[in-house]
Copies of this chain bind each other. A is one copy, B any other.
Amino acid sequence: MLSIVLIGSGNVAVQLAKNLQKANHVKLLQRYSRSVKNTEYFDKTIPVTNNLKKLKEADLFIIAISDDAITSVSKELQVSKGLVVHTSGNKPLNSLICKANKGVFYPVQTFSKEKEISFDQIPICIETEHTDDMDLLKYFANSMSKKVYEINSQQREKLHIAAVFANNFTNHMFAIADDICRKNNVSFDILKPLIQETAKKVKFISPKDAQTGPAVRNNLKVIENQLRQLDHNEKEIYSLITKSIIESYNS
């Protein structure tokens, strides 16, 4: 049985706590929260402290807090035994500064407090400073998810950039589409099944092979006609992405 102390009370911590309580071979001993924020989202039976000096002994300390606080909180830890991991995609392993051994447990998903999400199908990227700790972290990650990947800090940094394209920028394309619909009194609902299908396709076909539309067909007549109808900001984006699609199919 792996004993865990969970540090943090944001979206990731809320969802982690729920999944830790359900997992086999895992015992959530205690959680740390600086304030009473989000208390309502946590099971009341989990012992809680607001004092980093009063953490229990455990096999694993999971720091699930905002990127900018990772270093300062890890410095305050008075933990010398056990493995300390953070959950950030964006921060290297050595942003942890503490006596105990270090690692990373990065669940690649977007979390909210309200929507309960099972870790089962969430890819988990893990890294440890010492190879000796990898077995323990792998054992833990496998008890939470079926998809565990060993990835170093440099790869994780690139993965996080890729995630910005695949998640944030994609979502901004939806926002622009929503905007165009709104301005022309057309319901954005019309596009929702197409959006679902676009995401579904990429499970089975590489995005490059799945591409359709005027850019990949290099249909300049349609492209020019559509460009004419866009305002400045949208036009710049349309034009640059179209250029990039055309180039990537002709190089």
A binding-site residues for B, Cβ under 8 Å? 67, 90, 108-110, 121-123, 125, 147, 149, 151, 154-155, 157-178, 180-181, 183-203, 206-208, 210-216, 222, 226, 229-230, 233, 236-238, 240-241, 244-245, 247-248
Whether the Cβ atoms of A170 and B167 lie closer than 8 Å is: no
Please classify the interface of chain A as helix (H, G, I), strand (E, B), loop, or mixed, using the class held by over half of its residues: helix
Whether the Cβ atoms of A195 and B199 lie closer than 8 Å is: yes
Q: Which of B165, B208, B214 contacts A164 (CB 8 A)?
A: B214
Whether the Cβ atoms of B240 and A186 lie closer than 8 Å is: no
Q: Which of B176, B191, B215 contacts A168 (CB 8 A)?
A: B215
Q: Which of B164, B167, B198, B216 contacts A226 (CB 8 A)?
A: B164
Q: Which of B162, B188, B244 contacts A237 (CB 8 A)?
A: B244
Whether the Cβ atoms of A159 and B172 lie closer than 8 Å is: no
* Inter-chain contacts of A149 with B (CB < 8 A): 186-187, 190
Rounded to whole angstroms, the CA-CA distance of A249 and B237 in the bound complex is 17
